[in-house]
Chain A
Amino acid sequence: MIATIRSEWIKLRSVRSNVTTTIVAVVIPLAITLLSVTFMRTSGIGENTLSDFVLGTGSIAVLLIGVIGVLCITQEYSQGTIRLTLAATPKRTRVYLAKLVVMALVGALVTGFIILASTTVGSIILESRDVSGPHTGPDSGAAFVAMILMGSLVALLGMAIGTLTRNPPSAITTLVLWPLLVEGIVGALLSLAFEDNVTRWMPFQTGLNSMFAELPEGGFGRWGSLGYFAAWVLLVTVLAERGMKRRDA
C-alpha cells in the first residue's frame, strides 16, 4: 500500500498541469484576501474581516482542489496510463485507496497552507496599516478546520466523479455545475413547494456552509453539515470504486 501511495504521489507531482492547478488554487484565494486587506478602508475592518475573507474565498480554493481530484484520475484514462497503473497494481481497490489518500492529503495541505499564509501575511499587512488585532474572529478556528476538511472531501468528490466519467471536461463540468447551478435551481424549486428550509438538503451548499464563521439559521450545525456532505462524498466514492473494479480498463 505504501508503494502504491508513493507511486501515486510521484504521478501527481510529475505532471505540470497538476502543479499549475494547485498553485492557482493557492494563489487566487490568497491574492483576493491579501489585496482586500491591503486596500480596503481601515474604518471597515473589524475582528472578523480577515478570517471572513479567508473563509469566503475558501469555496474557490475548494472547487479548484476538486479539479485536481478530477485530473488525478481522468488524465490516467485520457493518456492511457490507467492500463499501466492497473497492470502494475492489479488490486484496483488498492489503487483507488492510494489515490484517495494522496488527494485527501493534498486537499488538506492546500487549504491549510491558504489559511496559514493568508492569516499570517494578512495580519502583518493589517498591523502595518495600524489596525490592531485580533484579526481573526472567535469562531474562525472551527471554521478553518471545516475548510481543511472540505478541501479533502471535495478533492475526493472530484476524484470520484472523474472515475465515473473518465473524461476531464465532463467531470469538471459536473463538479462545477453541481454546486453553482444544479443545487441552486433544485433548491429554489423545492423552496417554492415546501415551507421548510430545503436548501440544507443540498449537499454542496450545506458542505460549504460549514465553512462560515457564523453558521446560517436552520442548518445541521457545523459538524452536522460537514458530515452530511461527507456522506454524499462517500456514496459517490463507493459507486466510483465499484465501477472501476467492474469495468474494463
Chain B
Amino acid sequence: MITVDGLTKRYGSTVAVDNLSFSVEPGVVTGFLGPNGSGKSTTMRCMIGLDRMQAGRALFDGKPYSSLRNPLHEVGALLDAGNAHSGRTARNHLRWMAASNGLPAKRVDEVLDIVGLQQVAKKRVGQFSLGMKQRLGIASVLLGDPRVVILDEPANGLDPEGIRWIREMLKHLASQGRAVLVSSHLLSEMALIADELVVIGKGRLIEQCTVDQFISRHARKWVVVRSPQLGTLVDVARAKGMQVATNETTAEFHGVESEIIGELAAANGVVLHELSTQTGSLEDAFLEVTATSVEYHGQSEAAK
C-alpha cells in the first residue's frame, strides 16, 4: 500500500502541492482526481523521487521510493507514455529497463505478450500510435510484477477501445491484490474505473472516500413535478419552507425526496402527471467541489 503524508512541493513561490496526505489500499483501484493543474502529476513525480518534495513523505509498504533497491519489483509507474526514445524498438525500450533491475530478457517478451505488442516488438516506438505507446507503457509497468501501480492520466487521448482496454487492465491488476493509483481530471472516467477516490484541488486534499460516497454527498438531486394544479402544490411546499423553482409546466423541488412530494400532493388532492427524481451529472458535482476549493484558496490568499 501507499501512504502519502504531508507532501509539499513548491516551485519558487508557487505552491504546487500543499501538505497532501492520503493512502492507497491494495486490491482496489484508487482514482486520483483533480482538475488540470491541481498537482496530480507533481504529486506522482514526488512520490517516485523524480522531483524533490520540500516537506512530507511518500511510503511504499513503509519504505520511501529512494530506498528501494530494485524499485521496478515494488512499484510500476507510468507517468507519460511518451517517455520512450522514438528511435528505439519496443523490445529494446523494455530491455534496458529490465536490465537495470536485474530482470531477464525473457520477462520482456512475457510483458509484450500480456499487452499484445509481440507482433510489433521490433518496430521503433516512433512509429507507434498513442494507443500502442500506452500499451508499451503498461508493459513497462508490469516488468517487475510490482505490488503497487501508479498511472498518470492513462486514458488521455485514447480511442474508446483503448480506454476500455486500460480500464479492464487496471481492474484486473487490482483484483490480483495490487494497490493501483490512477489519476484523471474526468470524474465520469473515474466512476467507471475506481473504487476509492482521492480528490484534490489546488494541490490540497479535498476528500478521500469511495466513489459512491462522493457521488451521494455531492451530486445534486431534485424532484421534478408536472401537474395541472402545479400552483397549489408549489404554494403548499413553499409554506413548508421547501426550495422550489417553477417554469410554465413543471416545478423542481430541491433538497427533498420524491416520496415527500408525492405524499404532499395526495394530502392536498393534487393530481400528478409526472413525479421524478433527477440527479446532476458527476462532472457537475466534481466541478462544484473543486470550485469551492479554488474559492477557498483565493480567500486564504487574500487573507495573507
Contacts and interface: CB of A to CB of B under 8 A. Distances in A.
Interface stretch (B85-93, B164-172, B219-227, B264-272): B85-93
A88 B97 contact: yes
B50 A87 contact: yes
B87 A17 contact: yes
Interface of B: 45, 48-52, 65-68, 71-72, 77, 79-80, 82-89, 92-93, 95-97, 99-102, 140
Contacts, number: 81
A10 B99 contact: yes
Contacts of A88: 71-72, 97, 100-101
Contacts of B49: 86-87, 90
Interface magnitude class on chain A: 20 to 34
Contact of B100 (A3, A15, A79, A83): A3
Chain A CB within 10 Å — which of B79, B82, B99 has the most? Answer: B99
Interface of A: 3-4, 6-8, 10-11, 14-17, 75, 79-81, 83-91, 246, 248-249
A83 B86 CA distance: 15
Contacts of B52: 246, 248
Given A10-B96, A17-B87, 7 more contacts: A6-B99, A7-B99, A10-B99, A14-B88, A14-B92, A88-B72, A90-B65
A75 B87 CA distance: 10
B212 to A, nearest CB: 33
A149 B55 CA distance: 45
Contact of B83 (A7, A11, A79, A248): A79
A79 B84 contact: yes
Chain A CB within 10 Å — which of B49, B71, B93, B97 has the most? Answer: B97
A75 B125 CA distance: 14
A81 B65 CA distance: 18
Nearest to B9: A248
A91 B49 CA distance: 10
Nearest to A85: B100
Nearest to B102: A3
A15 B88 contact: yes
A215 B140 CA distance: 53
A86 B77 CA distance: 12
